[in-house]
Amino acid sequence: MGRRKKGEPPKLRLRTDGQAYVTLWNAALQKEERVYFGQFGSAEANAGYARWLAAWTANQNLPPVTSQQAAPTVAGVILDFLDWAEAYYVKEGQQTSEVACLRAALVPLNDLFGELELATLRPAHLHRYQEEGITRGWKRRTINDHLERVRRMVRWAAERELCEAELLHRLKTVRALEKGRTEAAEGGKGQLVPADHLERVLGVLREPYRTICRLHYLLGCRAEEVCELRGEDITTEGGACRIDPSSHKTQHLDQRRVIFVGKQAREVLLPLLEERSQGYLFRGKNRGRHAGRVYRGPVTVSGYRQALATACGRAQVPVFTPIQVRHTSLTRIRETYGESAAQAVAGHASVNTTQIYTSRMDDLARKVAEEWG
């Protein structure tokens, strides 16, 4: 779509939910705003647009007229929210997986209630949404996660005065599905990977995925923390080694993340660090640009997952995923050292953890790393 020329009036446009609207630039807020006129093609919308256009022609600084705006529909808010999310959930110049998760959560909501006005949503609608998730075969945890994404969209809408805050309070009364009290199936991290299967796959995995998989298992960290590992995130001192990821899953919660590197993992990691002390240790094919410089981005988790699947076929073992590698590592640590040790290695400490408790968790994670990985 071409940019509108200066002085040219905004054209009436059709949104996928059937609403007629125009887009304006709000110079004061430095963002685009929309004015809605009702159902596209209706006499009401055409007359409203004609009145608005006459006023716009007389005064090109016309603010949005709320009295002429149709009440936002669920479908319309979903579209606007996803537009916002695509720009907001970005990391290292790439959209995060949360955008795809939001789409997966909101498509069924649109199918069920897209034509309704957002303000008319009630707890009963979310109960119906939960039932739809069960029908679609979602696991209990997935249904709960997607329900929170729906409420996140409503919170976003309330912040922009597309609905009253009371709507969000009302929808928060819907409880998450509880284990053993719902027809939704339980998920989990999948089955553990037998040690011999892991070794057979490591024997046929191509680089850099062989090294990534070995480190992933020894460190017990998240897949993206290995794939996106950078030389400057690694500290070596007095024979000890630790990783302070510059970017991690709980970064937006202002949580710290430290990964302690044991003897076996150091034997894999330190030679890589000698070759490349700066930038991504595992570079993928994708390219990006930062501060005028072109760089190769990191290996992706999806690429790692695909490499594992291919290697499992070559090794003639059941396919397992990166999350199963981590789950297997943490399970073995839990069996050997206890729940607190697994939590410390995984980086699952609560947001409200005190500094004293955090220090104790670090000591525990360091001990496990030296003995385990």
User: From the CB of residue 234, how many other CB atoms can be counted at a distance below 10 Å?
Assistant: 20
Mark whether 114 and 246 lie in a shared domain: no
Residues 6+ apart with CB under 8 A from 24: 10, 32, 33, 34, 35, 62, 64
Please indicate, yes or no, if residue 130 is contained in any of the structural domains: yes
CA gap 321, 5 in Å, rounded: 51
Model confidence band, residue 356 (pLDDT cutoffs 50, 70, 90): very low
Please indicate, yes or no, if residue 189 is contained in any of the structural domains: no
Mark whether 130 and 226 lie in a shared domain: no
Residues 6+ apart with CB under 8 A from 288: 92, 93, 94, 294, 295, 297
Long-range contacts of 198-204 (CB under 8 A, 24+ apart): 198/325, 198/328, 200/315, 200/316, 200/317, 201/308, 201/311, 201/312, 201/315, 201/317, 201/320, 203/315, 204/311, 204/314, 204/315
The answer to whether 277 touches 243, Cβ cutoff 8 Å, is no
Per-residue pLDDT, 66? 44
Mark whether 246 and 263 lie in a shared domain: yes
Mark whether 118 and 219 lie in a shared domain: no
Q: How many domains, in total, are found in the chain?
A: 3
Per-residue pLDDT, 355? 36
Q: Which amino acid is it at 169?
A: H
Per-residue pLDDT, 67? 41
Q: Can you give the CATH number for the domain in which 80 is found?
A: 1.10.150
Model confidence band, residue 336 (pLDDT cutoffs 50, 70, 90): confident
Q: 128, 155, 171 — which closes off a domain?
A: 171
Residue whose C-alpha is closest to residue 146's, from 107, 94, 91: 107
Is residue 1 pLDDT above 50, yes or no? no
pLDDT in tens, 86-109: 889 887 677 888 888 899 999 999
Half-sphere exposure of 41 toward its Cβ, with a 13 Å CA cutoff?
4
Mark whether 261 and 314 lie in a shared domain: yes
Residues 6+ apart with CB under 8 A from 66: none
Mark whether 17 and 80 lie in a shared domain: no
pLDDT in tens, 153-167: 999 999 998 999 999
Residue whose C-alpha is closest to residue 150's, from 110, 177, 189, 181: 110
Domain coverage including residue 35: 13-68
Measure the CA angle with vertex 24, ends 53 and 40; round to 5°: 60
CA gap 132, 146 in Å, rounded: 12
